[in-house]
A and B are shown apart, each in its own frame.
Chain A
């Protein structure tokens, strides 16, 4: 990693560790929600940002992770059994969702994933014997970590942060390895990648599966954070929101999800003073942001660099032209 990236990372880490103890309960709750969505959108960033797929069904995996943990906890099993099961389940279902991606492109794929999300939501709402239907599952307990009780807001936040750092590190390793290059090849020019020997099918399926696992982990943490789940947070609307978070942050940039999730979770909070209009301001802000920065917030450094380079180039041209005329 470049030195300035390292400094930026450490600064953000310091912020995430040092700020929450200064906040009241609600602030810690918000930060926990933010970090949970960072985990979920990291996975989506892999699928749509690095691998160039279209996925509008991410909230379904978020929900599958949450319900798996909730059902198991209610049945008396431990969180530490629920979490790996959620991950495996999401991996499998994510692989299955990848199959349509092999056959259809762009907008059709987007709507296929949207359809998948709706189907999963319908099951969550209708199968009351399993999911509690619209009544949901209440009284979900917090896990304990090596004997440490995580029922407090702050301890649970640090637990969530720890999980996020672990998953972030794993993703970083994945993306800097040859696998990461294969994913970006898949995004930029799949046919050429295939001709170079990259197994397109496998990587497509994997991009969905790995992305799904991240959403599943986030969902499991979400269930224990809110201590109650019902189908509403896992609708198509939530998937669309997650897609928005990834693109606004910067699809294909590693820290995009951090900013994107902040926009999706924290920005509406800051806008609350606008009372009834706060979501209107939020929607308008998103439109304006896209117009100004179509590649997302993290494309700002690249744009500054591009502007600087183009200025230098035109200065060089002017100098050369002056020399010719002289």
Chain B
């Protein structure tokens, strides 16, 4: 029983990491219809940015805030103005391919420009171990879970309870009506991109101690984030957290009880089941199809 709990707990910790990447992805899609195939790289780049700041002598907290500012500028504003805005009016395909190209460029730019090696990354939390009912948990596991939960709930609260947040939701649901109502649509969309950039930076801070800073961590993380987003519900923020946790836990249970070689298949089967029977995701609301 303790073994089972151990696996579940580790899975929840890993899953909360996927959830953070999934959350930004979901928000971008909702607010602007952008499918960002470079989402994984959006987490990888701030990690290296923080490493660079720290190599220049800054302490972790300063590097984090500086990177947040850089991320909002580059991954938020520049990404929106440079790629999303010009291409969205041409349909989905150009944006998808442009973000694919961006992912390739980012990955290989870091590899050529910084290093092909993995670098350690300082953790926010110490290395203490806790033993609860026979299950070993690290402080980092708990801390990551708590912070991820806080970020998700915080984003949800922001979107539901503040005027700006509700304006962003309005833009996501019906851009024309929002414009008619006097909402500054471009600015709301920019806020979405900025929030994605901030969430990705936060994810980098929490994830990289375990994942280690390497140019190719974006690929695997991005893939898991996409699946988590869809399983949880593509139009619901809490769905991203649920989706991430489900993916993390199922992987562990599958690896231990079914077959380690096919553990990725479990997330897939779940994913296909959700797509076929509940396409809006486990927590999502049904979207009407326009004719």
Contacts and interface: CB of A to CB of B under 8 A. Distances in A.
Q: Would A and B touch once assembled, by the CB under 8 A criterion?
A: yes
Interface of A: 48, 100, 103-108, 110-112, 114-115, 118-119, 122, 125-126, 191, 236-237, 240, 243-244, 247-248, 251, 275-280, 282-287, 289-291, 294-295
A104 B98 contact: no
B4 to A, nearest CB: 24
A104 B279 contact: yes
A122 B265 contact: yes
A295 B98 CA distance: 12
A122 B223 CA distance: 15
B134 interface: no
Nearest to A293: B94
A275 B219 CA distance: 23
Nearest to B93: A247
A163 B264 CA distance: 37
5 contacts: A107-B35, A118-B223, A244-B97, A278-B108, A280-B105
B170 interface: no
Contacts, number: 129
Given A126-B262, A240-B37, A286-B98, A280 B93 contact: no
Contact of A291 (B98, B108, B264, B272): B98
Contacts of B279: 103-104, 108
Contacts of A279: 104-105, 107-108
A37 to B, nearest CB: 16
Nearest to A247: B97
B103 interface: yes
B271 A287 contact: no
Nearest to A112: B275
Nearest to B109: A280
B94 A283 contact: no
Contacts of B272: 100, 112, 115
Contacts of B100: 240, 243-244, 286
A248 B87 CA distance: 13
Nearest to A252: B93
B86 A280 contact: no
Given A277-B108, A291-B87, A122 B101 contact: no
B83 interface: yes
Contact of B261 (A118, A122, A284, A295): A122
Nearest to B82: A291
B163 interface: no
Contacts of B261: 122, 125-126
Given A104-B279, A247-B94, A287 B265 contact: no
A contact face: mostly helix, strand, loop, or mixed: helix
Contact of B104 (A114, A282, A289): A282
Given A103-B276, A111-B275, A122-B261, A290 B98 contact: yes
Contacts of A110: 35
Contacts of A248: 97
Contacts of B219: 237
B112 A286 contact: no
A111 B226 contact: yes
Interface string B101-135: 11111111101110000000000000000000000
Nearest to B89: A294
A291 B153 CA distance: 36
A112 B108 CA distance: 28
B139 interface: no
A112 B227 CA distance: 10
Contacts of B211: none
Contact of B98 (A111, A112, A122, A287): A287
Given A111-B275, A276-B112, A287-B105, A243 B96 contact: yes
Contact of B97 (A119, A125, A286): A286
B256 interface: no
Given A111-B230, A276-B111, A276-B112, 20 more contacts: A100-B276, A107-B234, A108-B234, A108-B279, A110-B35, A112-B275, A118-B223, A118-B265, A126-B262, A244-B97, A280-B104, A282-B101, A282-B104, A283-B107, A283-B108, A287-B83, A287-B98, A287-B101, A290-B94, A295-B90
B55 interface: no
A283 B87 CA distance: 17
A220 B261 CA distance: 27
B268 interface: yes
B289 interface: yes
Nearest to A289: B101
